[in-house]
Chain A
Amino acid sequence: MEKLIDIGKYIEIGINALEENFSGLWGAIDNLISWTVDSINSVFLILPFYVIIALITIGAYYAKAGKKAFTKEGASKAAGMTAFVILGLLLVWAMGYWKEAIQTTTLVIVSTVIALIFGIPLGIWSARSNTANAIIRPILDLMQTMPAFVYLIPAIFFFSVGNTPGVIATVIFSLPPAVRLTSLGIRNVPSDVIEAGYAFGATEKQILFKIQLPLAKTTILAGINQVILLALSMVVIASMVGAKGLGSIVYQGIQQNNIAKGFEAGLGIVVLAIILDRITQSIAKK
């Protein structure tokens, strides 16, 4: 059937115009992201793998055991998770994908940080203004339901292949839960506490920082956990535009029809996912 409306064409025209008119900006963003990713990667890869495993293990133990870190109770509580972290990371190293795992983790960290820089303020805004909420919500719906691959096309267009389009596509894909859960957390703060704040002469800023954000903390941390997991799932897809890491091994596995390769890299991603999830959840529970 012949097209009656050619939305795609207008989007293309728009994106072309953006690309041509702001090429300096895209270049700057590309440089910044590439530099950040490369720097973090090189720092992590200079350190011997056992140092990193030790650091992550200690971090995970503290996250789980909290204030009871030096007691028997804390030790037994965090024992399972600590064991999993050590064994899981050793497995990744032993399979020979240490470097890729580091690259993937770096991409996840950078994407998550960027997603949170945008997502949390947007969430605060949409919690405090119904108009903002009415505008932001459908956009988030669109971002979450649009097939993730679609983001890759303009990302390449602006940034060519490499880590940057991967990071950008990942940010877009993983941003919504940060906005949504921040907004939800703030909106769920009981109105009597807010009212008490106003009654004692709190300014809007004091209401936000002394009441709303502290009370929404658990929900916001749950949002951050979601962002990290979505980012991890997206960096695999982002390997199609040249993002490095475990994803690109999976992608090679598909292209070469190499079951072993694909499965091993996939297992590595699972290990990373579980570790990231458990650590962030432990932090959120406190």
Chain B
Amino acid sequence: MSDKRKTKIHVENLTLIFGKRKQEALKLLQQGISKDEILKRTKCTVGVNNANLEIKEGEIFVIMGLSGSGKSTLIRCLNRLNDPTSGKVFIDDFDITRESNKELLETRRTKMSMVFQKFGLLPHRTILENAAFGLEIRGEEKESREKRAIQALETVGLKGYEAQLPSELSGGMQQRVGLARALANDPEVLLMDEAFSALDPLIKSDMQDELLQIQNKLHKTIVFITHDLDEAIKIGDRIAIMKDGVVEQIGTAEDILTNPASDYVEAFVEKVDRKSIITAETLMFKKNTVVEINKEGPKGVLRKMRSVGLDILPVEDDSKKFLGYVWVHDVLKLEKAKETTIEKALKTEVPSVYKNYTVEEMLPLITGIRYPVAVVDEDSGRLLGIVSQTSLIIEATRYEMDEVMELKEKANEI
């Protein structure tokens, strides 16, 4: 789905090295020498090592990593607060690394705004003046910039605070001002550097919700830096995980959780609450044997069941629409009664979900019943796959199959 959207920011082979002997360090890096060795030989630190990113228009792209992973350095390359040592950064089709100072100022003034971890507000100015700062810098008239700043403050829920000073506001509210200042510029790209990291957990969660709401209205391209995986998963359309200046993996939260590209990523995502992220689409078994209600009688169904070794099968109608399940014992009864159709054995009150349902949403459906969960297409009603109860339990508990068996055995003994 994201592939259809236009690429807004394209980072190509971006490397940033801190220190005086950058070129020398760059050569060593390209020869594949390690970061530590380069530091020893040249006293240069590698901030970002050959990063490649494609950020789509209108998405929230999260760059996540622990401190020192180079994520803040990377985001500062996007507006050249840090000058990359090599590589390119395209915003639309313009390579920002080759822009003159004047062009760069123009880009910063009109195309991209930034929100900072420590807010970066001017303590001597009122909230209104702070929100209007970006517009003031680009030379807008007082009247029009204040009008737009008031609008932006309204968007972030700070109406009525215009005349206060930043020191009179709480941290969360100060960051709202930071956000309003960025929004007042009406940029195409919003760069958010650990924007919510300094806030209390509850306020942080509020701000995340609010950002998502604002994004629903405004559809900016947002690059969001964080060290908090839960935050990344909550707000990110796609996530890039960084370690030691290297982008380890890029993908949706589910991609990363289900297919971690490296041990590091795996260790990182281990503790995440997967129940709200893993969807039916990932868990379902797709190649199911299906019964067509108008074509197969009890005999045929029983043969099918025997050949796949299952005592329950899903049933479809002529248009391949999912109807329900049949159990082996019901079909057997029909066979004995010499029935020609299986219609009487069909159970239609079964749990069905769409593919974007999460484990968390599916678990309640299986209480007190023995049916697996059917995943059907939202439009056509066709069966896409089946999620067994066992796989739901395994996903929810993170137990291995043999651990589940062991528990069962123990339970029997008791």
Query: Residues of A at under 8 Å CB distance from B?
Result: 190, 192-193, 195-203, 206, 210-211, 214-215, 217
Contacts and interface: CB of A to CB of B under 8 A. Distances in A.
Interface in B89-134: 104-110, 113-114, 116-124, 133-134
Contacts of A217: 124
Nearest to B109: A201
Interface of B: 79, 81, 104-110, 113-114, 116-124, 133-134, 136-138, 181, 185, 191
Contact of B106 (A197, A201, A202): A201
A192 B119 contact: yes
B124 A199 contact: no
A192 B119 CA distance: 8
Contact of B122 (A198, A199, A201, A211): A211
A214 B79 CA distance: 26
B81 A192 contact: no
Contact of A214 (B117, B119, B122, B185): B122
Given A200-B109, A201-B105, A203-B105, A215 B114 contact: no
Given A195-B120, A215-B124, 18 more contacts: A190-B118, A190-B120, A192-B120, A193-B122, A195-B116, A198-B81, A199-B191, A200-B113, A200-B133, A200-B134, A200-B137, A201-B104, A201-B105, A201-B110, A201-B138, A203-B105, A215-B123, A217-B124
Contact of B137 (A190, A193, A206): A206
Contacts of A203: 105
Nearest to B185: A200
Contacts of A211: 122
Contact of B79 (A197, A199, A210): A199
15 contacts: A192-B116, A192-B118, A193-B121, A195-B116, A196-B120, A197-B137, A199-B81, A199-B116, A201-B106, A201-B107, A201-B110, A201-B138, A210-B133, A215-B124, A217-B124
Nearest to A202: B137
A211 B133 CA distance: 11
B115 to A, nearest CB: 9
B137 to A, nearest CB: 5
B81 A195 contact: yes
A35 B124 CA distance: 40
Contacts of B122: 193, 210-211, 214-215
Nearest to B138: A201
Contacts of A210: 122, 133, 136-137
A137 B104 CA distance: 35
Contact of B116 (A196, A201, A206, A215): A196
A175 to B, nearest CB: 27
B303 to A, nearest CB: 70
Contacts of A196: 114, 116, 120-121, 133
B238 to A, nearest CB: 23
Contacts of A197: 137
Contacts of B136: 210
A196 B122 CA distance: 9
